[in-house]
């Protein structure tokens, strides 16, 4: 019997603070050593918004206010790891709490970066988002 592989669905949160976005240095998973957005896998029966709110709480211990659903979607194939994801991006602001690294084995650190000065080693979905859509409209409101 042939096993059919299918892409998984990831939800990434573009946390915005003035002209900055929050990025984390990934560790121990695909994309290790790159800067990615907070987020994770969409669970069975879960909405994109609920996933974003849950992941923000689990990873950062913050409550967020989601702006747009979805902001954008990318099709991300990780050749080296043989993983394929559809990534849904959601823009958000922090409503309550201070950023804490609740999963230090998965993310070495969280850091705010100016949209105008992002690090070079970006996680593939973030790179694909910037190359196909950009983030400019989030900072020109």
Q: For residue 2, what pLDDT is reported?
A: 65
Least Cα distance to 24 among 37, 5, 39 occurs for: 37
Q: Which CATH superfamily is domain 8-135 in?
A: Nucleoside Triphosphate Pyrophosphohydrolase (3.90.79.10)
Q: How far, in Å, CA of 25 to CA of 123, rounded?
A: 9
**Stated pTM of the model:** 0.92
Q: For residue 10, what pLDDT is reported?
A: 97
Q: What is the largest CA-CA distance in the chain?
A: 53
pLDDT in tens, the chain (141 residues): 566 789 999 999 999 999 899 999 999 889 999 999 999 999 999 999 999 999 999 999 999 998 767 679 999 999 999 999 999 999 999 999 999 999 999 999 999 999 889 999 999 999 999 998 877 777 665
**Domain residue ranges in the chain:** 8-135
Q: For residue 133, what pLDDT is reported?
A: 82
- Residue 115: how many other CB atoms lie within 10 Å: 17
Structure tokens, 133: 């859509």
Q: For residue 140, what pLDDT is reported?
A: 60
> DSSP character for 50?
H
């Amino acid at each position: 019997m042939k096993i059919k592989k299918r892409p998984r669905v990831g939800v990434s949160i573009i946390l915005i603070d003035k002209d900055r976005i929050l990025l984390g240095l990934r560790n121990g998973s695909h994309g290790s050593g790159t800067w990615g957005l907070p987020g994770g896998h969409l669970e069975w029966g879960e909405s994109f918004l609920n996933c974003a709110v849950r992941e923000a709480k689990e990873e950062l211990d913050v409550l967020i206010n989601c702006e747009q659903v979805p902001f954008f979607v990318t099709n991300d194939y990780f050749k080296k790891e043989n993983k394929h994801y559809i990534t849904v991006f959601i823009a958000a602001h922090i409503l309550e709490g201070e950023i804490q690294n609740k999963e230090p084995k998965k993310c070495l650190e969280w850091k705010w970066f100016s949209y105008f000065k992002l690090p070079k080693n970006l996680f593939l979905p973030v790179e694909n988002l910037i190359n196909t859509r950009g983030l400019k409209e989030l900072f020109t409101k």
